[in-house]
Structure 1
């Protein structure tokens, strides 16, 4: 029997990871955090003083980077060259490097192969920028999740504040707009809504409302499969 795949795409700060993780939990699927995989590669580049604009060095480094996802006691672990880097990949610096480095075709091809392999082995919920358009074009359900830049900036600001980190909301919004532009205008597999993806604007919705909406879409497509 063919495994089921759900693709959730969208810009930075739209809530993709939170929503995808909960959807996977509700359905008993494997959650594949593709953003975390890109962040792990970005961490490697930062540690090795590789500039995000140095395409040649990034390409040369790719064969030396191994990123995998493991599950232990129900927790997803992102493993970079044998090291659990869960606690190191959520900084702004790593996020910016991941967005900039993901433009490099070698980076994307290396991780896409692993992501596609995971989808062949299990029922998955996968989120990212190009899941429905490039990584899993045959996904059973595709969602394009977004929110206004102001709302995405507010969420990020609140998240940082909760962690005791001072941040300027206007600077966060500018950073989000810059990342959107890079993601939507990169030459290889840019961020865009797949033609058969369902558009979901989360600006005025709670997390639970978004989850229930997507679960309803899943129930509809699952009924058609039977």
Structure 2
């Protein structure tokens, strides 16, 4: 399987990770809650030795939920965990989806997430209207744009989608679930460089 950066390197390979890191700048940051979510998935699916391996890759000993950390740290740590946890029953992509899924559910427990949750609970249109703002609150990498394609369907364009697309697929699934919107189907369509379109339908 190819990756979503326009190269022939397989998703999860060291070559693919290095290529992805070339798109990252020192100014690109994300919240510590997402790094903690990676560690939680690693802890649930693996063991403390794998958690320590991920922390060694990150160069940190702990993460404060709402502090900003380099996106490159999240990339290296998530790849380290997903590789270690890949086996015959779950591949790299599935572990990445679980990391993204838990990240969305974890964000919903923060003060920012709770405020947004009260505004959009059970309302898919409000959810998608607020999604670009939530994206800006959690990372300064790229942009998030929403285009409606029907009453219960839309396309989300993420530019400079630094993490591989299964992570965002899981994140969108988790976001819809915590806002009590059922039946989401999401399909990624990688574009040039790191841009990705996510085709959504629900209900």
TM > 0.5 fold call: no
Work out which of the two has the higher radius of gyration on C-alpha atoms and give 1 or 2: 1
Q: Kindly indicate whether structure 1 or structure 2 has the higher relative contact order, using CA contacts under 8 Å at least 6 residues apart.
A: 1
Question: Given the two structures, how large is their TM-score scaled by the length of structure 2?
Answer: 0.32
Question: Given the two structures, how large is their TM-score scaled by the length of structure 1?
Answer: 0.30
